Amino acid sequence: MGFAIFESNVEEFEEDGRNYKIIFKTTVSHQLKADFKQAIKTVCKTKVAEKFSRITFILENAGYNNPATAWIKTEEYKKGLKIVHINTFHLSINHRQETTATFVTETARILAHEISHLLQEAIVKALTQKEIIQERPKTSLDKNMKKISGNQDLIPHMRLVREYLRSFVDYIHIEGFAEFSAGQSVNKYSYNPEYSQSLYKQAKNKMIEVEDLRKAHLIKFGQVSRPKKYKNMDDYLKAAVEMKGLLKLLIKKIKENSYGIGEYMYYQIEFQSKTEINFIKIKPFKLIKKYEEAELISGRKPIISFKSKNGYFDYNLSLAEWAATKKVKK
């Protein structure tokens, strides 16, 4: 297969009066270039892309250390620029493993996810909100948990947990919307009970994974907050390290699993409403309440609930349990 080197090679095209630009900043095969162009042109025909008069796609080899397949940059969208960056390193691997049709569809879905974020920012400043969410944990877990000599060192840890429990709801809200919008863009969904059950099962498993970690961390924190129960400092420090490890894993799963959980919630609301809904302005807790109503119709246990305690994860209950456990006793 022949290769061509494209150094800032720019191609432009129009779709129903809208302008799109593709910039190649990397070495790709002729076939991969053609398939990338097909994926980009596919996504540019979707409803989410139609919201913008101009979008630029930059293909670059960001390498293995950048886990993202596509992303948008803060400094660019704050200037009003609609630019989606594409990591050809990861997607070229997909290209070798998938059929052309699958590659084009999946790449279009990935790009639609990022364009959905641009739409969220344009209308409700969701990306700006996401930055605030990511900055909430003002205190580094590593920095504050390196030395644990008494209960006072648990205060930053306590604040961090509460912040991430709230962030979980926000991640579900923001990333779930982008995943669902992207899925709609490539006609991913079937609106029938069997498909709904399949998505429900996947989302339920993701939530149970998060909830199990939350409870395990809660128990370990309760133990560490009572240092007098330990026979020596070594045992206490070992338990504290385990607590720290559980929180790190919980944070990781909160971020990873929020995509699939949120995607299912948006899907289920629309499925039960029987009509297409404009979700762009819905607030996080309103989303949960509408989802609970939709799941009630299905007769299944909700994946998440706000304060009814009906869900596998209940937001208010998680805060109440944490408040009860974080009362540090000597």
pTM: 0.88
Q: How far apart are CA 236 and CA 231, in angstroms?
A: 8
* Mean pLDDT of all residues belonging to the chain: 88
Q: How far apart are CA 222 and CA 242, in angstroms?
A: 12
Answer with the residue of higher pLDDT: 304 or 67: 304
Report how many helices (DSSP H) and strands (DSSP E) the chain contains, helices first. Answer: 11, 9
> In a 3-state reduction of DSSP, which class is residue 319?
helix
Whether the pLDDT of residue 151 is over 70: the answer is no
H-run or E-run covering 20:
strand 18-24
- Please answer whether residues 232 and 149 qualify as being in contact, where contact means their C-beta atoms are separated by less than 8 angstroms: no
Q: How far apart are CA 133 and CA 171, in angstroms?
A: 8
Whether the pLDDT of residue 60 is over 70: the answer is yes
Please write the tens of the pLDDT for every residue from 222-241.
Answer: 888 888 888 888 888 899 89
Q: Which residues, in sequence order, are CB contacts of 282 under 8 Å at separation 6+? A: 173, 290
Angle at 132 between CA 46 and CA 158, to 5 degrees: 130
pLDDT interval class at 149 (50, 70, 90): very low
Percent of the chain with pLDDT over 70: 88
CB atoms within 10 A of CB 110: 23
Whether the pLDDT of residue 24 is over 70: the answer is yes
Q: How far apart are CA 310 and CA 303, in angstroms?
A: 9
pLDDT interval class at 135 (50, 70, 90): low
Write the DSSP symbol of residue 304. E
Please write the tens of the pLDDT for every residue from 293-302.
Answer: 999 999 999 9
- Residue recorded with tokens 């979008």: 55
For each of the domains in the chain, give its residue range(s) and CATH number, in order of start: 3-124 (3.30.2010), 141-325 (no CATH)
In the structure encoding, which two tokens stand for residue 219, read together? 């128990």
- Please answer whether residues 250 and 200 qualify as being in contact, where contact means their C-beta atoms are separated by less than 8 angstroms: no
> In a 3-state reduction of DSSP, which class is residue 164?
helix
